[in-house]
Amino acid sequence: MKAKKIDHIGIVVNDLNEGMKTFADNFGFAADTSKGGENARLGIKNAFMPVGESDLEFIQPMTEEGPVATFAKDRGEGMFMLSIAVDDVAAAVEHLRALGYRAGDANNGVAFVSMRSTHGVNLQLIQRA
């Protein structure tokens, strides 16, 4: 497995519009409206702001359960996740499992690695088309 680049950094916010406005007004970042939306399976809605070759992903929990909601309840707003781009996410998952990592199955080009395997860092692997 070879990490290619930092694809994006996930930031949990209480209110997606307010979080986006904060970063637009204060720092001049602009939203990439081609990405993001609601994800019922994950219980979130999200939006992206590119900064150079990586993105900031703003994530608002839409339900009371799930990792994003739990993070928001426990820690409030803040950095939630690091997303690393790889060439082949299924192969990366297989590689990590062979090393003893806990990693979820790849779904739509995305897989999550258990924080128990990463010293507590919430890590996502992503394969872009």
Q: Interface with another protein by CB under 8 A: which residues? A: 1-6, 9, 11-13, 19, 22-29, 51-54, 58, 75-82, 84, 96, 99, 101, 118-122
Q: Which is nearer to another protein, 40 or 99 (by Cβ)? A: 99
* Minimum gap (Å) between residue 90 Cβ and another protein: 16
Q: Which of 24, 11, 1 is nearest to 83 (CA)?
A: 11
* Minimum gap (Å) between residue 125 Cβ and another protein: 9
Q: Which is nearer to another protein, 22 or 41 (by Cβ)? A: 22
* Torsion angles phi and psi, residue 117, rounded to 5: -100, -5
Q: Which residues in 87-113 are b (16+ Cβ under 10 Å) and which e?
A: eebeebbeebeeeebebeebeeeebbb
Distance, in Å, from the CA atom of 54 to the CA atom of 9, rounded to the nearest integer, reads 8
* Minimum gap (Å) between residue 94 Cβ and another protein: 13
Q: Which is nearer to another protein, 41 or 119 (by Cβ)? A: 119
Q: Are strands 123-126 and 78-85 parallel, antiparallel or unpaired?
A: parallel
Q: Which is nearer to another protein, 37 or 52 (by Cβ)? A: 52
